[in-house]
Chain A
């Protein structure tokens, strides 16, 4: 590495050109063996253009690893020193991926922030050299160009991207609790302007190629090709390379300039941003917004703002230094470790560990066109699954069909779909009131009302018409699947698929297997879930499964806290400031008071004292007054169409007053209230692992974060215990146990972890 950098710095002296020529020949001979051993990159020369092709072996994606890094440097040095080469094209031959980002394992292997800073500085230096290259380098982008990949691309002199759906550019580092550590904080603001750069780096959003072209992030677009005399993907990459070569030549010949014409609005913005006062205002605004959204729980966004600011106000040297140092610091934070853990977990939960099902589901049927049923239908038809949506009445069915249409049409409005694609997808949906066509169904998902006898009836009706291989899946949040399956003729084909509302937005799918559920049935359910774009956890059957079971004791605590005199607004702010995306009182309104009561009662019966806490009388009174939450317009809050700020429902005062309990001053500080909620959640989650409801801690974390909104900055209950220390959590639980009793008794597995600090859920 050091050696190659030395060579690179030499190559900047143009005076030594003649010398280098002879040097090149020697080197190319000695490098012949190196060429053979290069695994990530190979390059060839077409005319006077070097074509550098990236393709990391044994991986679906290219990542900026240490090896790729050094091979790239090696190749670039050859390019720079060759007199024959006047320009270069950088391209990935891996379909659907340019470079998906930095190698996370490389970061995880680091134990100190200095090491991470070091990595960042190496990359900064390499990209700076690339940026200053006198031979133009064209990045030819097909597929994901994210994180370090984008940083590499924007260091090149020119960017050409395919206008493919898979081609996305973005800086998602913030989602992992870090910042772009290889120069993007310095280059992006110059390239796309300060506001757009902040937007990219603070949201981590992926930008499609056409949008990137408008922003000035890429210079040219190449349309993906259809079939010719080769597979379309292969030929598209070839074509991209051909186009990139012509541009590389044009740049070398100075026939094309990399500068782009800016529009009037752009010119005006960039003028405005040249005024320091305006910039200060922008920093301030962005900081305020970030503070408001993160509640100060996530350090990365603020550091990003800080680093960008440093670069612009104090020059790029200071900016690069700040970038690498903050990068190092962030990589060592608990938040970053939690977020990276979640990222890995998410990747794991996007795989089908049960293997491919014997028969792929082609025809799906959904029973019940309610909110859930229609939601399930929507995420199925837009992936090309033929779906029958059945309800019992025409108005109910029509409402469901409209929901599906609206979901698709909203995408048309956002221009992620064309109206034609929408129509084609919508035609995958067949709405009907009878069981016609069920004889061809491969899977039936029932989403009827949560009532055991109704589910039994529906199961029997369905089994009378479906073929033998058809899987019957029940979408329920709490009814044990085993009990539903008691009336089944073929319980091995019965499984639970617990979707979360709204189905098209919530990523999680909790799949519940009974002892009788066959492995192939599970494989089939996971397969369908993955095709629907879900992140999947597979848990064992039991009251409340995993997600509902964890949430219920916390909800019980919510009611108690309300009874103790903490107002819903205060409670909401305490929970959101802890990192929950939705406040606890609002959550009850969203879930529905009747549903919450139904679940609390059922699970209360099963689990007894551990699930006690607040009085269910509160929910009962709310139901009798019609305060069912958002769906009825009133709950703890009042919900009105088109009114953004929700107001407290003053009619709740009398209910809260009548059920008031004395508060316990020892455990009622703001922090205690937060921990009373969270520790009950976490304790129950760990108990689920202890009892085998959960197979892995990963699934527990993913389920909690993606299904229930457990604070992502904590990484889920298991990461939370690992990162904050089991002992501390046990101490908390013991403290509350002393006041409230068994509800807070830590489970055995948690106690084991507290007793042995080396024991971690994630090794």
Chain B
């Protein structure tokens, strides 16, 4: 493993002193031995529970994640979702009529397709007898879709569920102002010409100013980037550290892409355009280049920039979740078990993005695991500053004691196991679709790198958070 790491770092043209620091660590601590030792002495052999159905991910796919305003810009969200569903059908060859239920997560809803799961499923050729619903929970919407599926299967309501997520930031619903809407509705009700004229006479020019979907937290009126900048400052994380982390994410993503590790990506023939085969937001740059950018939120002295934040992304993802016995009966070789999961929430103002810190120890304790048991960490990277703040929070006794009601710190996930194939910073972050990507990345990494347990964690608007244990399916 060490050799693998050092090898790849040697081959990265943009490796900085940061990367060096990371390759130093495994060398000096001979993690190979440790990792080997750790995999043999897991706290638990498996997380299977008596009298509860084992739930597996058969496989999962996603469309390439693209920067908003690029190849997907003329599509509608259900088009993207349909692409993910078709891709999943193609990849797994699951008979359409076996699917009991379909759940999708999305954040910014297209009002025409507010139940985007249903619209996409119909178009993808699923049986019109398969019900579908859409969930929303900000950046953990598809996590919610998956855990809803887990619930349906565990309770015996369903055996086969497709869960996914979609986001199309290239087009967002921009509305007329409330005043204009009110006038238009009144006009609808007006019967006579006189009534209509009296409604129209109330028109003022400022009615025409449009209403954009809020980019800020409703409860605090603060944008997420602004909150991330404050969070980074609260944990005294410098601009350099953030840029270095972003560079790491892009470098690792680039490597994963080049080595063909991102196997969940399925090509998508965009109508009227070329076939899209890979993510287009991966741009390893240099620290010098990144240092030139101006702060994007707290001007002029903030530390969060376009380069160390995740970008607006279009994309969709879908996974096929089944009861284990059903999957085996159908002759599938599942990729992973979905095990314990946890949702948390905290102060949406000052701890907006600290969800992973709160969710991680809880889900580990629930599963009876320790940090050492985890072989693959897949954390959602909203901002470099957010990831680093979460790492610092997990490494702080003070924070654990004063804000989490714990006696001691959560502990630091080892970075050599952390988002090794890139993350949302580099691969992109279509809000509603990221959760499935995280789970598939964890599952695929466990298969590729070896190891038994993966931990998926993410923060979300509203001060919420999620974590889930993914257990590799025995080969």
> Which residue numbers of A lie inside 8 Å of B, CB to CB?
220, 223, 225-232, 235, 238-239, 243, 246-247, 418, 420
Contact = CB atoms under 8 A, between A and B. Distances in A.
B220 interface: yes
Given A246-B301, A420-B220, A228 B399 contact: yes
B403 interface: yes
B396 A229 contact: yes
A344 to B, nearest CB: 37
A418 B218 CA distance: 10
A230 B398 contact: yes
Contacts of A235: 233-234, 236
Output the residue of B226, B233, B351 with the most chain A CB within 10 A: B233
Interface in B48-104: none
Contact of A229 (B226, B350, B399): B399
Contacts of B186: none
B384 to A, nearest CB: 16
Given A225-B233, A420-B220, 8 more contacts: A220-B301, A223-B226, A227-B350, A228-B231, A229-B396, A230-B398, A232-B234, A246-B301
Contact of B236 (A220, A227, A229): A229
B256 interface: no
Contacts of A238: 236
Contacts of A246: 301
Nearest to B226: A223
A456 B458 CA distance: 59
B350 A232 contact: yes
A420 B218 contact: yes
B227 to A, nearest CB: 9
B234 A226 contact: yes
A420 B348 CA distance: 12
Interface in B279-320: 298, 301
B118 interface: no
Interface in B214-261: 218-221, 226, 229-231, 233-236
Contacts of B398: 229-230
Interface string B397-423: 011001100000000000000000000
Contacts of B226: 223
Contact of A226 (B218, B347, B396): B347
A505 to B, nearest CB: 27
B234 A225 contact: yes
Nearest to A239: B233
Given A223-B226, A223-B298, A246-B301, A228 B235 contact: yes
Contacts of B220: 418, 420
Contact of B389 (A228, A230, A239): A228
B217 to A, nearest CB: 9
B349 interface: yes
Interface string B371-394: 000000000000000000100110
B234 A228 contact: yes
Nearest to A423: B219
A239 B236 CA distance: 8
B351 A227 contact: yes
Contacts of A227: 234, 350-351, 399, 402-403
Contacts of A420: 218-221
A239 B350 CA distance: 15
Interface string B134-156: 00000000000000000000000
A32 B233 CA distance: 34
A239 B298 CA distance: 13
A418 B301 contact: no
Contacts of A223: 226, 229-230, 298
Given A220-B301, A243-B301, A420-B219, A229 B233 contact: no
A229 B221 contact: no
A239 B220 CA distance: 21
A225 B230 contact: yes
A304 B301 CA distance: 38
B219 A226 contact: no
A251 to B, nearest CB: 13
Contacts of B231: 226, 228
A231 B349 CA distance: 15
A239 B349 CA distance: 18
Contact of B350 (A226, A230, A243): A226
A259 to B, nearest CB: 15
B107 to A, nearest CB: 20
A547 B421 CA distance: 75
A420 B349 CA distance: 12
26 contacts: A220-B301, A223-B229, A223-B230, A225-B230, A225-B350, A227-B350, A227-B399, A227-B403, A228-B231, A228-B235, A228-B236, A228-B392, A228-B393, A228-B399, A229-B398, A232-B350, A235-B233, A235-B234, A235-B236, A238-B236, A239-B233, A239-B236, A418-B220, A420-B218, A420-B219, A420-B221
Contacts of B350: 225-227, 232
A318 B261 CA distance: 78
Contacts of B219: 420
Given A223-B226, A418-B221, A420-B218, A229 B298 contact: no
Nearest to B217: A420
Contacts of B389: 228
Given A239-B233, A418-B221, A226 B301 contact: no
Contacts of B399: 227-229
A238 B392 CA distance: 18
A223 B301 CA distance: 11
Contacts of B396: 229
A420 B222 CA distance: 12
A238 B236 CA distance: 10
A229 B392 contact: yes
A230 B392 CA distance: 12
A235 B298 CA distance: 17
The 6 closest A-B pairs by CB, nearest first: A226-B350, A228-B234, A225-B234, A228-B235, A229-B396, A420-B219
Contacts of A220: 301
B406 to A, nearest CB: 14
Contacts of A230: 398
Nearest to A229: B396
Contact of B349 (A226, A228, A229, A247): A226
B230 A226 contact: yes
Nearest to A235: B234
Contacts of B402: 227, 231
Contacts of B351: 226-227
Nearest to B398: A229
Nearest to A220: B301
A246 B298 CA distance: 15
Nearest to B395: A229
A223 B218 CA distance: 18
A653 B220 CA distance: 57
Contacts of B230: 223, 225-226
A223 B225 CA distance: 13
A144 B396 CA distance: 32
Interface string B334-375: 000000000000010111000000000000000000000000
Contacts of B301: 220, 243, 246-247
A246 to B, nearest CB: 6
A239 B393 CA distance: 17
Nearest to B222: A223
Contacts of B347: 226
Contacts of A226: 230-231, 234, 347, 349-351
A228 B236 CA distance: 8
Contacts of A243: 301
A231 B402 CA distance: 9
A220 B299 CA distance: 9
B260 to A, nearest CB: 40
A231 B392 CA distance: 15
A225 B403 CA distance: 15
Q: Which of B220, B235, B349 has the most CB of A within 10 A?
A: B235
A228 B231 CA distance: 7
Interface string B141-174: 0000000000000000000000000000000000
